[in-house]
Amino acid sequence: MKIIVDAYGGDNAPQEIVKGAVNAVKENDGFKVVLVGKVEEIEALVKENEYCGDRIEIIDARDVITNDDVPTEAIRRKKESSLVCAFRALNTDPEAVALISAGSSGAVLTGGMLLVKRIKGVVRAALAPMLPTVKGGFVILCDCGANADCKPHQLVQFAHFGRAMATAYMGIQNPKIGLLSNGTEDKKGNELSTQAFALLKEEKGLNFLGNMEAREILSGDYDVVVADGFSGNIALKGCEGTALAFMTILKNSIMAGGLRAKIGYLLMKPVFKVVKKTLDYNDHGGAVLVGLQKIVIKSHGSSKAKSISASIMQAVTLHNRGIIDEVTKALTVENPVESTEA
Amino acid sequence: MKIIVDAYGGDNAPQEIVKGAVNAVKENDGFKVVLVGKVEEIEALVKENEYCGDRIEIIDARDVITNDDVPTEAIRRKKESSLVCAFRALNTDPEAVALISAGSSGAVLTGGMLLVKRIKGVVRAALAPMLPTVKGGFVILCDCGANADCKPHQLVQFAHFGRAMATAYMGIQNPKIGLLSNGTEDKKGNELSTQAFALLKEEKGLNFLGNMEAREILSGDYDVVVADGFSGNIALKGCEGTALAFMTILKNSIMAGGLRAKIGYLLMKPVFKVVKKTLDYNDHGGAVLVGLQKIVIKSHGSSKAKSISASIMQAVTLHNRGIIDEVTKALTVENPVESTEA
């Protein structure tokens, strides 16, 4: 089994990406990592991180896609970029099961959509991060940005994607699914969500609990939250922004709070570390682009070695627990859906 | 000037509502409060709160609209409810300038939409809360739930509403306006938001900065955030939920952190109070239903006396600073828009 890693994607590439890959193979067995990018630089970094085994391969790629590139053009034209070369390896190497990149979200999404085959029946793939909940578990938010405009039946597929991920990755047999809306009542929602609600109510194989508010996302009362990519993205970024705002206000108040506050802070430092670790969903891996025949994971742009390592292990686990089969089964056996879009 | 208050709306009605009204008149001059609800109970509560002046009036209303009522039906049929009677007073008493209710959001919105005349040119009113930012100021989120489905030109009106509020209430002459989207680039967005983006770029009288992510709402970099009611509601509730989740995780970590953490917490208690006060937007008043010929404010359902008092003072300030004129001017002088909806 090989995990293909775009070594030149993200704010801390290639140093932290290579370090994360080396740590992953040093600390775990059962897979190889293929690093894609400038071979001489990657070789030097692998050496620097004191790895000399045979579980890291390198594919040379001389170009890089940046956040300034227009995603569709970049994927089509920058054929020698680390990301496009990584997708090529994912498609051609029979041992390759997953691709990981911390690069431009748009490019990773576009690459996944254009270059990787969809599972039969899938209309469009969706991006699904796992967020930590107050109960200590995780909730899968699907879609969080791959599809700004959706049709109601796509949201039904997103529910299946989320269910499959919750089952394959978190081992939950009958995950609780909520539909993100502007209220909890059955009739709440916009045109899209109310139509999706009606379909989800009738769909087989889903433990659909009904409408839920963004307030409940992190509550732990749901295993899967279904949303169109626009709303899901707003929910995700809203959560991120508030956590950040909370930390800033806390820091300012400590600074203004005199000696007492500062001593209190020093004593509470381990507590804050736990809180930060709990809320920092990047430590648990990246967002999975679900619905494709191979696993594609988008790591956060600011990923350090730890996040990359976590994303690699996430890919290994998802593969070992048969995520692709779970999605395929959901769409083809229980709920046959014909693909209606190119 | 009279502020009409629905004394039987909200989780803590009528006790906290009456208390908040009494506090508002005791601590401030220049307005009367009209409490609507069961007259004998309100009279007793006013007395209990030691007020015997002539700045509190009471209108008797025997019925109550609850969260279990279907909003449209309740507004149409429960004609003797405190909320419908309050709307009637708002429309008929020439001194009445504002209505405040902490009752069912749906009923307050529906009541505002059906029973209060719109400002000429307004397609639909929008709900606009003021959220605290990390810079110590406020940001106005418009719409946060009154219109689940919107047309692009409505979002342009919401921008004008927000601008008018920022100018009238916060004294900002050229407020910075952002459009809530799933990315900051000009082309990001769903069908609705990209069309609204194009219109906002061309609109006169608006300091439109472009697309922004939900991550930036509380950053203080924007005075006004424009959104359709569905997305805006998700952003608002997402922020609320994360703040709540943060506090829960913090509390759990303190409990698990032993004596050191607990002493640290005790020392930091004043800091946490400041943080809570900063983030608790209910302390600063309610969400304003903008676009109507009178001021309608929806206070949070869990409002205590303090929030009600704050909402009353918010209404007084908005009236004194000419919010209705600000909106009217924006829509009729600079940007004539014809009403296209009943």
Mind listing the pLDDT tens digit for each residue in A25-68? 999 999 999 999 999 999 999 999 999 999 999 999 999 999 88
Of residues B149, B182, B268, nearest to A264 (C-beta):
B268
How high does pLDDT run on average in chain A? 92
Does position A279 have pLDDT exceeding 80, yes or no? no
Q: CA nearest A69 in B: which residue?
A: B185
CB A284 within 8 A of CB A315: no
Of residues B215, B261, B266, nearest to A241 (C-beta):
B215
| Alpha carbon A254 to its chain's center | 34
- Beta carbons of A261 and B249 less than 8 Å apart: no
Burial label, B49 (beta-carbon count in 10 A; 0-12, 13-18, 19+)? middle
Rounded distance, CA B23 to CA B212, Å? 39
Which chain B residues are within 8 Å of A229, Cβ to Cβ?
182
> What DSSP designation does B332 have?
I
**No. of helices (H) and no. of strands (E), chain A:** 11, 12
Q: Residue B166 has what pLDDT?
A: 95
Domains contained in chain B, CATH given: 1-125+291-342 (3.40.718.10), 127-242 (3.40.718.10)
Question: Residue A148 has which token pair?
Answer: 């700004």
Mean pLDDT value of segment B166-178: 94
- Beta carbons of A260 and B267 less than 8 Å apart: yes
Rounded distance, CA B104 to CA A87, Å? 52
Torsion of CA A235, A241, A244, A249, to 10 degrees: -120
* Closest Cα in chain A, distance from residue B280 (Å): 11
Rounded distance, CA B124 to CA B329, Å? 17
Of residues B148, B236, B265, nearest to A190 (C-beta):
B148
Confidence of residue B333 (pLDDT cuts 50, 70, 90): low
Confidence of residue A305 (pLDDT cuts 50, 70, 90): very high
- Strand, coil or helix: what is B36? strand
User: What is the Cβ-side half-sphere exposure of residue B28, based on CA atoms within 13 angstroms?
Assistant: 20
Which residue, among B62, B210, B235, has the nearest Cα to B142 in the 3D structure? B235
- Beta carbons of A219 and B241 less than 8 Å apart: yes
- Beta carbons of B267 and A267 less than 8 Å apart: yes
- B102-134 residue pLDDT tens: 999 999 999 999 999 999 999 999 999 999 898
Q: Residue B251 has what pLDDT?
A: 86
* Closest Cα in chain A, distance from residue B94 (Å): 35
Q: CA nearest B135 in A: which residue?
A: A249
The least confident of A133-142, B199-208, B286-295, B326-335 is B326-335
The residues, ordered by sequence, that sit 6+ positions from A236 with a Cβ below 8 Å of its Cβ are: A129, A131, A141, A144, A145, B214
Question: Residue A101 has which token pair?
Answer: 């990149």
Which chain A residues are within 8 Å of B242, Cβ to Cβ?
218, 238-239, 242-243, 246
- Beta carbons of A242 and B242 less than 8 Å apart: yes
Mean pLDDT value of segment B72-90: 96
The least confident of A246-250, A280-284, B224-228, B299-303 is A280-284
Q: Residue B340 has what pLDDT?
A: 43
**No. of helices (H) and no. of strands (E), chain B:** 11, 12
Which chain A residues are within 8 Å of B191, Cβ to Cβ?
148-149
Mean pLDDT value of segment A152-173: 95
Q: CA nearest B218 in A: which residue?
A: A245
Which chain A residues are within 8 Å of B183, Cβ to Cβ?
106, 233
* Closest Cα in chain B, distance from residue A145 (Å): 7
Q: Residue holding tokens 């108040």? A: A253
What percentage of chain B has pLDDT greater than the value 70? 96
The residues, ordered by sequence, that sit 6+ positions from B107 with a Cβ below 8 Å of its Cβ are: B65, B69, B71, B74, B75, B83
Q: Residue A333 has what pLDDT?
A: 55
- Print burial letters for A243-271: b (CB count within 10 Å at least 16), e (below 16): bbbbbbbbebbbeebeeebeebbebbeeb
Q: Residue A41 has what pLDDT?
A: 97
- A189-235 residue pLDDT tens: 999 999 999 999 999 999 999 999 999 999 999 999 999 999 999 99
Q: Residue B339 has what pLDDT?
A: 42
Q: Residue A272 has what pLDDT?
A: 86
- B250-262 residue pLDDT tens: 888 888 888 999 9
- B290-325 residue pLDDT tens: 999 999 999 999 899 999 999 999 999 999 999 999
Q: What are the angstrom distances between the C-alpha of B201 and each of A92, B151, B211?
A: 45, 16, 11
Which residue, among B66, B324, B137, B105, has the nearest Cα to B233 in the 3D structure? B105
Question: Residue A217 has which token pair?
Answer: 């996302």
Q: What are the angstrom distances between the C-alpha of A18 and each of A48, A80, A88, A129?
A: 10, 19, 20, 23
Q: Residue B335 has what pLDDT?
A: 52
Which residue, among B310, B114, B133, has the nearest Cα to B224 in the 3D structure? B133
Cα Dmax for chain A: 65
The least confident of A2-6, A7-11, A268-272 is A268-272
Which chain A residues are within 8 Å of B109, Cβ to Cβ?
none
Whole-prediction pTM: 0.91
> What DSSP designation does A4 have?
E
- Beta carbons of A243 and B240 less than 8 Å apart: no
- Beta carbons of B242 and A218 less than 8 Å apart: yes
Rounded distance, CA B26 to CA B38, Å? 22
Which residue, among B210, B264, B226, B206, has the nearest Cα to B147 in the 3D structure? B226
Q: Residue A87 has what pLDDT?
A: 98
Mutate to test the interface with A, among B222, B234, B281 (most CBs of A within 10 A): B234
Q: Beta strand B287-290 with B224-226: parallel, antiparallel or unpaired?
A: unpaired
Q: Residue A335 has what pLDDT?
A: 52
- A59-102 residue pLDDT tens: 999 999 998 899 999 999 999 999 999 999 999 999 999 999 99
How high does pLDDT run on average in chain B? 92
Of residues B134, B193, B264, nearest to A248 (C-beta):
B134
Residue B203 or A337, more confident: B203
Rounded distance, CA A124 to CA B21, Å? 54
Q: Residue A61 has what pLDDT?
A: 97
Rounded distance, CA A178 to CA B25, Å? 45
The residues, ordered by sequence, that sit 6+ positions from B13 with a Cβ below 8 Å of its Cβ are: B6, B7, B37, B102, B103
The least confident of A102-111, A285-294, B187-196, B328-337 is B328-337
Question: Does ipTM come in above 0.95?
Answer: no
- Beta carbons of B244 and A215 less than 8 Å apart: yes
